[in-house]
Amino acid sequence: MELTHTTQGNLRVLRRQYFQIVNLEGLKWPDANILKTSAVQTWIYENLFDLDTVKSRPPERYQFRVLKKLVSIIEGAIDDPEEDEISNDLMSILSSLLSSNLSSESVSAQQKAFVTYTYSTRPIDGPASSNELPVTLLESRAVISSSGTTGLRTWEAALHLGNFLMSESGNEIIRGKNVLELGAGTGLLSILCAKYLEAGRVIATDGDEAVVDAIKTNIFINELDIPEGSSTRGSIESAALKWGWPLQATAFEEDYGVGALDVVLGADVTYDNSGIPLLVSTLRELFDLKSSVQVVIAASIRNEKTFETFINACSRNHFGTEEINFPTIPEDLQAGPFYPTTTPIRMLRITRSEGPRDPFSV
Ligand X SMILES: C[S@@+](CC[C@H](N)C(=O)[O-])C[C@H]1O[C@@H](n2cnc3c(N)ncnc32)[C@H](O)[C@@H]1O
Least separation in angstroms between CB 175 and ligand X:
21
Judged by CB under 6 A, does residue 321 bind ligand X?
A: no
337 touching ligand X, by CB under 6 A: no
Q: Which of 207, 264, 283, 346 binds ligand X (CB under 6 A)?
A: 207
* Nearest residue to ligand X, scored by beta-carbon proximity: 151
- Determine whether 169 is exposed, middle or buried from the number of CB atoms within 10 Å of its CB (0-12, 13-18, 19+): exposed
Examine residue 155 and tell whether it contacts ligand X (CB under 6 A).
Answer: yes
CB 122 to ligand X: min, Å: 26
Altogether, the residues listed in the chain come to a count of 362
Give the span between the Cα atoms of 253 and 259, in whole angstroms: 7
Closest CA to 219 of 207, 237, 201: 237
242 part of the interface to ligand X, by CB under 6 A: yes
- CB nearer ligand X, residue 267 or residue 293: 267
Residue range at the interface with ligand X (CB under 6 A); choices 4-12, 113-121, 146-154, 311-319? 146-154
Select the span of 66-74, 139-147, 162-170, 181-189 touching ligand X (CB under 6 A).
Answer: 181-189
- Of 36-44, 138-146, 151-159, 336-344: span binding ligand X (CB under 6 A): 151-159
Asked if 173 interacts with ligand X (CB under 6 A), we say no
Beta strands per DSSP E along 249-325? 263-267, 294-300, 319-323
Does residue 139 touch ligand X according to CB under 6 A?
no
The answer to whether the CB of 205 falls within 8 A of the CB of 180 is yes
Binding residues with ligand X: total (CB under 6 A): 23
Of 30, 185, 200, 337, the one binding ligand X (CB under 6 A) is 185
Residues ≥6 apart with Cβ < 8 Å to 72: none
DSSP 8-state assignment for residue 25: G
Given the complex with ligand X, which of 11 and 247 has the nearer CB atom? 247
Among 66, 269, 293, 295, binds ligand X (CB under 6 A): 269
> Residue 150, exposed/middle/buried by CB under 10 A (0-12, 13-18, 19+)?
middle
Are 159 and 117 spatial neighbours (Cβ–Cβ below 8 Å)?
yes
Give the integer Cα–Cα distance in Å for 145 and 150.
Answer: 7
- Which ranges of 142-208 does DSSP label H, i.e. alpha helix? 156-166, 168-174, 188-195
Whether the CB-CB separation of 131 and 120 falls below 8 Å is answered with yes
Q: Do 213 and 250 touch, CB atoms closer than 8 A?
A: no
Q: Which of 139, 237, 268, 285 binds ligand X (CB under 6 A)?
A: 268
One residue of 20, 116, 154, 238 binding ligand X per CB under 6 A: 154
Is residue 238 close enough to count as binding ligand X by CB under 6 A?
Answer: no
Q: How far apart are CA 216 and CA 224, in angstroms?
A: 10
Q: Least CB distance from residue 152 to ligand X, whole Å?
A: 8
Residue of the chain from 9, 134, 151, 336 that contacts ligand X (CB under 6 A): 151
Task: Report H helices in 78-155.
Answer: 88-99, 105-110
Q: Does 162 bind ligand X (CB under 6 A)?
A: no
**Whole-number Å distance between alpha carbons of 295 and 286:** 10
Binding of ligand X at residue 297 (CB under 6 A)? no
Rule CB under 6 A: is residue 150 a binding residue for ligand X?
A: yes
Q: How far is the CB of 185 from ligand X (least distance, A)?
A: 3
Indicate whether 262 belongs to the interface with ligand X (CB under 6 A): no
Q: What is the largest CA-CA distance in the chain?
A: 82
Query: Min. distance of Cβ 235 from ligand X in angstroms?
Result: 20
CA dihedral sign, ordered 13, 15, 18, 24: positive
Report the interface residues with ligand X, using CB under 6 A. Answer: 149-151, 154-155, 157-158, 183-186, 206-208, 211, 242-243, 267-269, 271, 275, 278
